Chains A and B, each alone.
Chain A
Amino acid sequence: MRRRIIGLETEYGLTFYPTGTAYLPMEKVIGYLFEEVIPTGWPSNAFLVNGARFYQDTGCHPEYATPECASFKSVVTHDKAGERMLESRLQPARKKLEEEGFTGRLFAFRNNTDSMGNTYGCHENYLVERSLDFWRMAECLTPHLVTRQIYCGAGKVFTVAGQTRYAISQRANHIHEASSSSTTSSRSIINTRDEPHSDAERFRRLHIIVGDTNMSEYTTYLKVGISSLLLTIMEEDGKLPSVVLEDPVDALRQVSLDLDLNMPLALAGGGKMSALAIQWAYLEAAEVHFSSLGPGVFRSLLNQWKAVLTSLDSDPTELADRVDWIAKRQVVRQFMDKHSCGLDDPRVAMLDLQYHDIDRSRGIYYLLERQKRMQRISNDNAVAHAMDNPPPDTRANIRGRFIRFAKETNRPYSVDWTYLKLSGYFEETILCTDPFASHDPRVDELVATAKGDLYHI
């Protein structure tokens, strides 16, 4: 099975809840969050020793871009590593603020919406073969991206025109086009941004911005794994279902509100299919394409996908240990039962928000995880390791090794996804255009000559 480079960019919501009423500009909070992570005097943007990029995005959001990952589990682990890194910065930042007289508590949420209807995202990046026709790929993938929320949604309690409802997806209402080049003004299901950060003749980047940010590792795994698997089928000239939705953006919203999972979606050229039926059609196509596949990651993923669809068909609550929107909905229902309150109770809105609190002492998701109610894909040790170590099997390994060396020897450097440069010592820019290459002789040599055997592998 061919390998694929995958990365996730996750934007976090940030808020300071003051004890007093002092106004506190979020720029200040962000400044303290990034302190120590990023060398003094640098803009709020930096690559880390694990090869990831941690920076301040549009609108004052801390954003973490995972290093290049070559397996589904690796993506899940590195995405969580970014979350833990941000969590580890909350206390120090809060203390600094306190020293300046700003007392209160600092929160970071791994979700997609605030109370005013602003949104921030979780962007998926998949390196795909340039030979694939982009528009055909977009057409084949769109029904999947519209319907996968039934097992990828993060769940959301929201109120419109005085009516409070539970929706499957946080992001569905913020998507306005099927495809576009913008990520902010006119968000789309598939973004046309094409920065492969590699040989552009061989590869392009598929940038998907429609997905929710997930708390559940399992949900992230399904989201990334199944989408990647469908890309593989296309790259191998396999057949995907010939389903075309009449209005993908409208369908996205319909599915998000269809908690019974049986709403028929209008197809182009007539006919209707439910989101679940469309997902079954994709699974069947995948089963046909991979029919000769032996045991392994892909086989396992296909089995998990099937188990998830089967549960969605019969009893979705079975997925409360795997799928965010179902886990959260179950907690919300139980809370309402216990307190005899409605969905519009402010405590329910708080519960919804706090499900996404990344502080593990407060976050409702982590309460579920601690009680072993959530299935995991990674584990605490692997996530802790990923905070300091790049994936060993991609270009991130070269970058991480280079950055560690530069930091340990106190040398100024500049780094981007495709190049490494040590200022004032080794002026040559080292280009790293192959994201699959995990070693570079020039970096090995640089580390060895500058530091002797200590850093020599």
Chain B
Amino acid sequence: MSQKQTHHEQDESPPEETEEPTGSPAITEKGKELVEDLDELMDEIDDVLEKNAEEFVKNYVQKGGQ
């Protein structure tokens, strides 16, 4: 962990340009909201998930590729 902290200390570059879509507070907030309504997502996953999981995964065999 000490290496990570060192990196933060060394990292004194100026704040990012505003054009940046990523890691902005708005996005982070959105991420938190999404975490809260996960129930719906999990229900949908239960709906689409293959029911015969064990057999399906076991039978998923490919000839080797590159």
Contacts and interface: CB of A to CB of B under 8 A. Distances in A.
A346 B53 contact: yes
A118 B10 CA distance: 43
A346 B57 contact: yes
A353 B36 CA distance: 25
B63 A118 contact: yes
A115 B58 contact: yes
A388 interface: no
B66 A183 contact: yes
B62 A14 contact: yes
Contact of B60 (A57, A115, A121): A115
Interface stretch (A46-54, A82-90, A272-280, A442-450): A272-280
Interface in B19-66: 19-23, 27-28, 30-31, 34, 38, 40-42, 44-45, 48-50, 53-54, 56-66
A389 B1 CA distance: 48
B3 A274 contact: yes
Contact of A307 (B22, B30, B44): B22
A115 B23 contact: no
B66 A121 contact: yes
B42 A338 contact: yes
Nearest to A218: B22
B62 A306 contact: no
Given A304-B23, A307-B22, A354 B63 contact: no
Interface in A14-67: 14-15, 17, 26, 57-61, 63
A364 B48 contact: yes
B65 A121 contact: yes
B4 A354 contact: no
A375 interface: yes
B62 A114 contact: yes
A281 to B, nearest CB: 8
Contacts of A58: 63-66
A411 B58 CA distance: 46
B21 A375 contact: yes
A120 B22 contact: no
A377 to B, nearest CB: 10
A98 interface: no
Given A118-B64, A120-B62, A184-B64, A350 B50 contact: yes
B65 A277 contact: no
Interface residues on A, range: 35 or more
A203 interface: no
A59 B62 contact: yes
Given A304-B22, A313-B8, A349-B53, A335 B45 contact: yes
A41 to B, nearest CB: 25
A114 B58 CA distance: 9
Nearest to A264: B3
A323 to B, nearest CB: 11
Contact of B48 (A299, A322, A349, A367): A367
Given A57-B65, A60-B62, A121-B66, A115 B17 contact: no
B16 A306 contact: yes
Contact of A119 (B19, B41, B59, B64): B64
A284 B10 contact: yes
A181 interface: no
A373 interface: yes
A320 interface: yes
A373 B38 CA distance: 11
Given A118-B65, A307-B22, A371 B41 contact: yes
Contacts of A60: 62-63
B4 A262 contact: yes
Nearest to A280: B7
Given A15-B60, A119-B65, A320 B23 contact: no
A303 B62 contact: no
Given A346-B54, A349-B54, 9 more contacts: A11-B65, A15-B60, A276-B3, A280-B4, A303-B23, A318-B23, A318-B31, A347-B53, A375-B21
Interface of B: 1, 3-4, 7-8, 10-11, 13, 16-17, 19-23, 27-28, 30-31, 34, 38, 40-42, 44-45, 48-50, 53-54, 56-66
21 contacts: A13-B62, A15-B62, A60-B62, A115-B61, A118-B62, A118-B65, A119-B64, A120-B64, A121-B66, A209-B66, A280-B4, A310-B23, A318-B31, A331-B45, A347-B49, A351-B49, A354-B49, A362-B48, A367-B45, A373-B41, A375-B21
